[in-house]
Structure 1
Amino acid sequence: MSIPQKLSLKPVGLAVPAFAILLAVFGIPMIRLFLTSLDAPAFSLANYEAFFRQGANVRVLFQTIEVSLVVTAICVIIGYPTAYLMASAPKNLRTALIVLVVIPYLTSLLVRTYAWIVILGDRGMVNNVLLELGLISSPLPLIYNRMAVYVGMVQIMLPLMILPLVTVMVSIDRSLVAAARSMGAQPSAAFWRVFFPLSLPGVRSGSLLVFVLCLGFYITPAALGGLRDAMLSTFIAAQVETSFNMARTATSAFILLGIAAVMLAIFGLDLAGTQGRAVRPMPESSWKPVRLLSAIKRFSNELAASYRAKRWNAKLYQASNIRRRTIARAVFVVSVMLFLLLPSVVVVIMSFSAGEFLTFPPPGISLKWYRSFFDDPSWTGAALTSVEIGVAVTILSTIVGTLAAYGLNRTSPKLRSILTLLLLAPITLPSIVVGISAYLGLLSFGLIGTKTGIALTHSLGAIAYVVVIVSATLASFDRRLEQAAMSMRAGPLQTFKRVTLPLIRPGIMGGALFAFLHSFDEVVKTSLVSGLSIRTLPLKMWENIRHEIDPTIAAVASLLVLLPVLWLAAIYVTWWRSRPSAEHALPDAAA
């Protein structure tokens, strides 16, 4: 029996198409890129030594790490209390808040970056408001500096911090906190000793994801920052555009990749055991001064125990400032939601401006920028190209990703974890590194500057999104339904079509949504593999932002803001319609 026939008989064989695309476009070129950085076949570290000998390179590297760390810290500071309040809210309110967080996450990165140019510009919303109030006499330099980079990157990355935190916090048993309170612990003590240690996996996941993705940021720092705010991804992109010295480019890419790999190796471990250790008392030391201090501490706690118990009982039924705290929490959550949604709202308002320049508020209401978009062949042609590529990517990645998720779901947990981690590499590694690897892979196939090459490059990340979302749907799928259908003489194909597919359809639709939006918003990798012969809508927008800031882009951006809303509505309708079909799936399969 041949190898393909053996693979087809195993569930993991369904993941072969996904891994074939991954290896051809990303995996094998990545190995070639690494060998190039080592000056193969001589195998020396001369390229890395040359990189670190140049002070400018080291300065840009440390600046990249600094910006990533600061953005991650700000996201933790803002995201943790936001997620905590969302997890504590009633279910319907929590669902609404999660949707408000997801919408800006699904909105084009270019749109949000462009919106901050409008908000922070010399004639932007902030400066105009301050001028109208008489608080300033001339516009403040709010853009093209480090602070603007922080604002833009935090707004883009904050949903990636909030969503993992909410997922973890919702699963925490609140009765543990209540038990701590019932034993006399103050609310702050119960939070720090019980709830916070249990939420650390969410903090770890969100921080790791934000930091690694920030390392590869290119668009936002280039658009909002100054010349001194360049990051290593900008440095790599400049090398590709000018000389494209493969050895230097590979070295820079693998230094950036090495930082991400180190962070994944250190913090990407399962810290579940830490939770238990966090709430256990520390072992006593054999050093006499430490034992003496421990004894004094225990004695003090025993003396204060009766006082704390009386104080807790007195406050238990005492009227408190519940209303004031509720208002403060509501104001905080509303402020965060406004921060996330403000760029999209400003873009929509600006799209109806009657002015000839980007000013806020607009001097009048007009549809001329929408007419400018639809009457300009360069804009409509770029949009049609993006739609064409996006549809191809969605079809390919949805089919291949669903098959991979279905096959991996039926393999052993250890093998599933390893293979899933490999499939997720294109969306967990810096985008510029993935783009350079895809360039090398497509170059060997002669697909640079073709729609097929762009679609294959976009499919790397799109397949990963489909695998994640469909796998999450299959995790809650009861396989006994399939067994029951097959026991009633339903074949494997009929069982999948009548039982499995209706139940996982919302996950497939969600994967298709992310696949299309991922393709429609891709700039960095597209700029590397398009060969300047194909212009997608994001490339056209990026070119416009960098050079002329044509107000037509406001109309384009407003249309892109509506795109994730329409997709979410389609997913909701699909899920709602799938519920009755799922109830009748088993009888239909047996018919």
Structure 2
Amino acid sequence: MHTFQKIGRAPVTLVIPALAVLLVVFGVPTVQLFLESLNAPNFSLQNYSSFLGQYANIRVLLQTLEISAVATIICLLVGYPTAYLISTASKRARMVLIVLVVIPYLTSGLARTYSWVVILGDNGLLNSVLIDMGLISSPLPLIYNRAAVYVGMVHIMLPMMILPLVSVMLGINTSLIAAAKSMGAKPSTAFWRVYFPLSMPGVRSGTLLVFVICLGFYITPAALGGLGDAMLSTFIASQLATGFNMGAVSASSFVLLAIAVVMLSVFGLNLSGTQDSAPKVKKGWSERLGLLRPVKRYLNELSVGSRSKRWSKMLYQAQGDGGWSRLVAGLILTLVISFLLFPEIVVIIMSFSDDATLQFPPSGFSLQWYASFFSDEAWYGAAWTSVKIGLAVAALSTALGTLAAYGLSRIAPQIRGWITMAILAPITIPVIVVGVASYFGLVNLGIIGTETGIVLAHTIGAISYVVVIVSATLANFDTRLEQAAKSMGARPFTAFIRITLPLIRPGIIGGALFAFIHSFDEVVITSLVSGYSVRTLPLKMWENIRNEIDPTVAAVASLLTLLPILWMIALYVTWWRSRSSSQNIAIEATA
């Protein structure tokens, strides 16, 4: 008990266990990786000059930047209006729309990539429909090209763009827009001069997250793209699998890491969801050119009369006449939500096919592919391995992440920022770099190719999710409840167990679920550290997608698609129960 009181007075000690795992598995190996790229102890730039001196490497690097940038721009162009419409919807409709966006976000990325394989393939849904309608006589090349890569990447990353935007937009004070309109500003002017600048933190966070994560994409370009659509992550993975030239692998990894670090350092990443209190008004080009100012002033004076009449008319005009705007808004939301959910629905329907190959619509319904999954030891054995690893990762990362989040909430803001940045590094840099560094770390520990090693490799990323979710819960925690309990004689440990822990339990459970999902769906890091001796379900799926389109994969993908619904139900039940318990705890603490 005396030890816990000391820890309470030095909360940074609560973060040490999480940092220790992070340093051993990721931090120290990253430094080792950097030294390897410099040919330590001789220290030279030969590996970097060799990488930059080959035209093929430069082409792959530029191609990676191009694909990531285009996918990010598409996500922003689609995600911003979608997030705006979600944030301006009624409370009940907003919750439904957010759930419909979150469900694809929680669905396995490998399952979503597979869904596009069966939709865009030569015998897939689109070509089959077009041939049956007589519009084409032979299948169109819809897959194994750059367009298919963009479709798959945007489908996976779009929720990650929408959710930060919605979070920021919900915090915008809409009275500022109303004030701008009341002073004569047009709706478009009020939006661009007031609303859009206030939403920039969400734009910046979403754009940076999507771009940096796209830099490390490996599965989607390999499954949907052609030979000319390879990205640098694919190049690094092939280097590690074939040549084992760690100097070249290290140099390639650090080139990719350097791009991500530069982007994050220059533009910054705001995960708090806050925005500036007032937007910065930028001067237009006409205001910068002094010769146009008199002309602009004269035209403004001529339009004063008509603008005042239009403003007074709009001021007293009855609201609710925007039928067309509501129709367009509904159409946009329907298209985006359909784009996010339709592939999963197609795979679920096709998984019940009684044909020897996948067809849509199925000629008949059967459970043969589900029976194949549960009767084939290779499939259910891989699934059981993933479940065991996921549960171990969830338990370890939840314990370490909760302690770290609790300690960070009581640390000075300056130190907290640096520690948080270090903890979030595994999920904010390209995953292929994390995989290569983890490979080094597990080799140092002598546990490469073991389930323990995979658990540790998954835990460094899972801790990041737990810290983010539990920290968000602690941000809304009223510390006066703890102080009230202590003032009535409760020890610090008792106050934490009886007051703090029950109130933050929904965040802890949510963090555990995200940690399990992160581990259960992981394929890139697992493929690098498994050593071909441990086969998880994602690895089994990836092998079948690459080598043979076994219809059993459709059954597995449909099961993985249904899992997020179970996660959402579990989170809702936890949140609902916490509402009544938090009220009782608050009454007991203040009684």
TM range (shorter): over 0.9
Does the aligned pair in 1 maintain the 2:205–2:269 contact within 8 Å?
Answer: no
In structure 1, what residue type is equivalent to 2:66?
E
Matches within 5 A, 1:222-237: 222-237=222-237
Instruction: Report what 1:238 is aligned to.
Output: 238
Instruction: Report what 1:310 is aligned to.
Output: 309
Instruction: Report what 2:23 is aligned to.
Output: 23
Does the aligned pair in 1 maintain the 2:523–2:539 contact within 8 Å?
Answer: yes
Quote the Cα distance in structure 2 between the aligned partners of 1:41 and 1:272.
46
Quote the Cα distance in structure 2 between the aligned partners of 1:132 and 1:282.
54
Instruction: Describe the SS at the equivalent of 1:397.
Output: helix
Which segment is superposed worse, 266-275 or 294-303? 266-275
In structure 2, what residue type is equivalent to 1:206?
G
In structure 2, what residue type is equivalent to 1:296?
V
Instruction: Return closer, same or farther for 1:115/1:537 CA change in 2, 3 Å cut-off.
Output: same
Alpha-carbon shift at residue 44 of structure 1 (Å): 1.7
Quote the Cα distance in structure 1 between the aligned partners of 2:294 and 2:352.
71
Quote the Cα distance in structure 1 between the aligned partners of 2:340 and 2:84.
17
Instruction: Tell me if 1:45 matches 2:45.
Output: yes
In structure 2, what residue type is equivalent to 1:59?
R
Quote the Cα distance in structure 1 between the aligned partners of 2:588 and 2:220.
51
Matches within 5 A, 1:372-451: 372-451=372-451
In structure 2, what residue type is equivalent to 1:228?
G
Instruction: Report what 2:524 is aligned to.
Output: 524
Instruction: Tell me if 1:168 matches 2:186.
Output: no
In structure 1, what residue type is equivalent to 2:44?
S
Quote the Cα distance in structure 1 between the aligned partners of 2:570 and 2:278.
42
Quote the Cα distance in structure 2 between the aligned partners of 1:315 and 1:473.
43
Quote the Cα distance in structure 1 between the aligned partners of 2:394 and 2:289.
62
Alpha-carbon shift at residue 547 of structure 1 (Å): 0.4
Alpha-carbon shift at residue 584 of structure 1 (Å): 1.5
Alpha-carbon shift at residue 8 of structure 1 (Å): 7.4
Instruction: Report what 1:56 is aligned to.
Output: 56
Quote the Cα distance in structure 2 between the aligned partners of 1:280 and 1:368.
63
1:243-268 CA distances to partner (integer Å, 9 max, x unpaired)?
A: 11100000000000011011101111
Instruction: Report what 1:482 is aligned to.
Output: 482
Does the aligned pair in 2 maintain the 1:25–1:442 contact within 8 Å?
Answer: yes
In structure 1, what residue type is equivalent to 2:123?
R
Alpha-carbon shift at residue 294 of structure 1 (Å): 2.4
In structure 2, what residue type is equivalent to 1:297?
K
Instruction: Return closer, same or farther for 1:330/1:458 CA change in 2, 3 Å cut-off.
Output: same
Alpha-carbon shift at residue 282 of structure 1 (Å): 7.4
Alpha-carbon shift at residue 165 of structure 1 (Å): 0.5
Instruction: Report what 1:290 is aligned to.
Output: 289
Quote the Cα distance in structure 2 between the aligned partners of 1:492 and 1:127.
65
Quote the Cα distance in structure 1 between the aligned partners of 2:525 and 2:215.
15
In structure 2, what residue type is equivalent to 1:167?
S
Quote the Cα distance in structure 2 between the aligned partners of 1:421 and 1:409.
14
Quote the Cα distance in structure 2 between the aligned partners of 1:352 and 1:512.
32
Does the aligned pair in 2 maintain the 1:498–1:589 contact within 8 Å?
Answer: no
Matches within 5 A, 1:267-286: 267-268=267-268, 276=278, 278-279=280-281
Quote the Cα distance in structure 1 between the aligned partners of 2:285 and 2:161.
34
Does the aligned pair in 2 maintain the 1:485–1:586 contact within 8 Å?
Answer: no
In structure 2, what residue type is equivalent to 1:309?
S
1:552-571 CA distances to partner (integer Å, 9 max, x unpaired)?
A: 01111111111111011011
Instruction: Return closer, same or farther for 1:5/1:243 CA change in 2, 3 Å cut-off.
Output: farther
Matches within 5 A, 1:509-548: 509-548=509-548
Alpha-carbon shift at residue 136 of structure 1 (Å): 1.1
Which segment is superposed worse, 555-564 or 446-455? 555-564
TM-score by length of 1: 0.96
In structure 1, what residue type is equivalent to 2:378?
S
Does the aligned pair in 1 maintain the 2:352–2:366 contact within 8 Å?
Answer: yes
Alpha-carbon shift at residue 351 of structure 1 (Å): 1.1
Quote the Cα distance in structure 1 between the aligned partners of 2:7 and 2:37.
35
Instruction: Report what 2:497 is aligned to.
Output: 497
Instruction: Return closer, same or farther for 1:584/1:395 CA change in 2, 3 Å cut-off.
Output: same
In structure 2, what residue type is equivalent to 1:396?
L
Instruction: Return closer, same or farther for 1:228/1:365 CA change in 2, 3 Å cut-off.
Output: same
Instruction: Describe the SS at the equivalent of 1:239.
Output: helix
In structure 1, what residue type is equivalent to 2:106?
L
Instruction: Return closer, same or farther for 1:273/1:88 CA change in 2, 3 Å cut-off.
Output: closer
Quote the Cα distance in structure 2 between the aligned partners of 1:269 and 1:543.
35
Does the aligned pair in 2 maintain the 1:18–1:404 contact within 8 Å?
Answer: yes
Structure 1's unaligned 5+ residue stretches are none
In structure 1, what residue type is equivalent to 2:280?
A
1:260-312 CA distances to partner (integer Å, 9 max, x unpaired)?
A: 01110111167989774632657999xxx933322332332233233222223
Instruction: Report what 2:300 is aligned to.
Output: 301
Instruction: Return closer, same or farther for 1:454/1:526 CA change in 2, 3 Å cut-off.
Output: same
Alpha-carbon shift at residue 128 of structure 1 (Å): 1.2
Instruction: Report what 1:147 is aligned to.
Output: 147
Structure 2's unaligned 5+ residue stretches are none
Quote the Cα distance in structure 1 between the aligned partners of 2:578 and 2:289.
63
Does the aligned pair in 2 maintain the 1:448–1:531 contact within 8 Å?
Answer: yes
Alpha-carbon shift at residue 508 of structure 1 (Å): 0.6
Instruction: Report what 1:75 is aligned to.
Output: 75
Quote the Cα distance in structure 1 between the aligned partners of 2:335 and 2:4.
56
Instruction: Describe the SS at the equivalent of 2:280.
Output: helix
Instruction: Tell me if 1:108 matches 2:108.
Output: yes
Instruction: Describe the SS at the equivalent of 2:173.
Output: coil
Does the aligned pair in 1 maintain the 2:15–2:407 contact within 8 Å?
Answer: yes
Quote the Cα distance in structure 1 between the aligned partners of 2:512 and 2:432.
24
Instruction: Return closer, same or farther for 1:70/1:275 CA change in 2, 3 Å cut-off.
Output: farther
Does the aligned pair in 1 maintain the 2:208–2:269 contact within 8 Å?
Answer: no
Instruction: Describe the SS at the equivalent of 1:134.
Output: coil
Instruction: Return closer, same or farther for 1:62/1:506 CA change in 2, 3 Å cut-off.
Output: same
1:125-172 CA distances to partner (integer Å, 9 max, x unpaired)?
A: 111111122111111110000000000000000001000110111111
Quote the Cα distance in structure 1 between the aligned partners of 2:314 and 2:219.
53
In structure 2, what residue type is equivalent to 1:414?
Q
Does the aligned pair in 2 maintain the 1:123–1:360 contact within 8 Å?
Answer: no
Instruction: Describe the SS at the equivalent of 1:279.
Output: coil
Instruction: Describe the SS at the equivalent of 2:289.
Output: helix
Quote the Cα distance in structure 1 between the aligned partners of 2:539 and 2:269.
37
Instruction: Report what 1:123 is aligned to.
Output: 123
Q: How many residues align?
A: 586
Instruction: Return closer, same or farther for 1:279/1:459 CA change in 2, 3 Å cut-off.
Output: same
Quote the Cα distance in structure 2 between the aligned partners of 1:156 and 1:264.
21
1:15-47 CA distances to partner (integer Å, 9 max, x unpaired)?
A: 111000000000000000001111112222111
Quote the Cα distance in structure 1 between the aligned partners of 2:332 and 2:274.
30
Instruction: Describe the SS at the equivalent of 1:424.
Output: helix
In structure 1, what residue type is equivalent to 2:14?
L
Quote the Cα distance in structure 1 between the aligned partners of 2:384 and 2:378.
10
Which segment is superposed worse, 206-215 or 36-45? 36-45
Instruction: Report what 2:356 is aligned to.
Output: 356
Which segment is superposed worse, 422-431 or 41-50? 41-50
Matches within 5 A, 1:241-256: 241-256=241-256
Does the aligned pair in 1 maintain the 2:118–2:125 contact within 8 Å?
Answer: yes
Instruction: Report what 2:342 is aligned to.
Output: 342
Does the aligned pair in 1 maintain the 2:355–2:362 contact within 8 Å?
Answer: yes
Instruction: Return closer, same or farther for 1:182/1:588 CA change in 2, 3 Å cut-off.
Output: closer
Instruction: Return closer, same or farther for 1:281/1:275 CA change in 2, 3 Å cut-off.
Output: farther
Which segment is superposed worse, 349-358 or 264-273? 264-273
TM-score by length of 2: 0.96
Does the aligned pair in 2 maintain the 1:498–1:588 contact within 8 Å?
Answer: no
Identity %: 63
Instruction: Describe the SS at the equivalent of 1:534.
Output: coil
Quote the Cα distance in structure 2 between the aligned partners of 1:510 and 1:54.
47
